[in-house]
Amino acid sequence: MALVVTGGNVNDCTMFTAVLEQIRVPRPGPGRPRTRPDHIVADKGYSSRAIRSHLRRRGIGATIPERADQVASRVRRGARGGRPPSFDPEVYKRRNVVERCFNQLKHWRGIATRYDKTAESYQAAITLAAVLMWL
């Protein structure tokens, strides 16, 4: 749905809003594409207060498991720690589709080892590989 190419040392969660801004969900029939997905399913790397509040402000549902240190901090604070965020394990099981896609992309040697010199050619290679996987 969306792809943002960054330097290799950039953390995934720092680019979350940039990727989310590039998502365009086509509508069936006429009309411009939607820019707000109904729901996000992400791994523990995206379990931060900033990401959860951003999704809440935009009205996007989220299924993100809590990290162990966040659970311990919330429990340590007691009643002031608040309620745990909602989490549906059945919805989270569908995240494996994304992980399998990443795994298939890594079978392309040029993508896995980043042989391309420029970000544009690397992004083109990922797009081409994704189209071939889709077909």
Q: Three-state DSSP class for 62?
A: strand
Query: According to the model, what pLDDT value does residue 58 have?
Result: 92
* Spatial distance between the Cα atoms of 29 and 31, rounded to a whole number of angstroms: 7
Return the pLDDT at 90: 92
CA pair distance 105, 129, nearest whole angstrom: 7
Q: Residue written as tokens 């960054």?
A: 6
Sketch the domain layout of the chain as residue ranges: 89-135
Alpha-helix runs per DSSP H in the chain: 16-22, 49-58, 68-77, 89-92, 96-105, 109-113, 119-134
pTM for the structure as a whole = 0.77
pLDDT tens, residue order, the chain (135 aa): 678 888 777 887 888 898 899 888 888 889 999 888 889 998 888 988 899 999 999 999 999 999 998 889 889 988 888 888 888 999 999 888 888 888 998 888 888 888 788 888 888 888 899 889 888
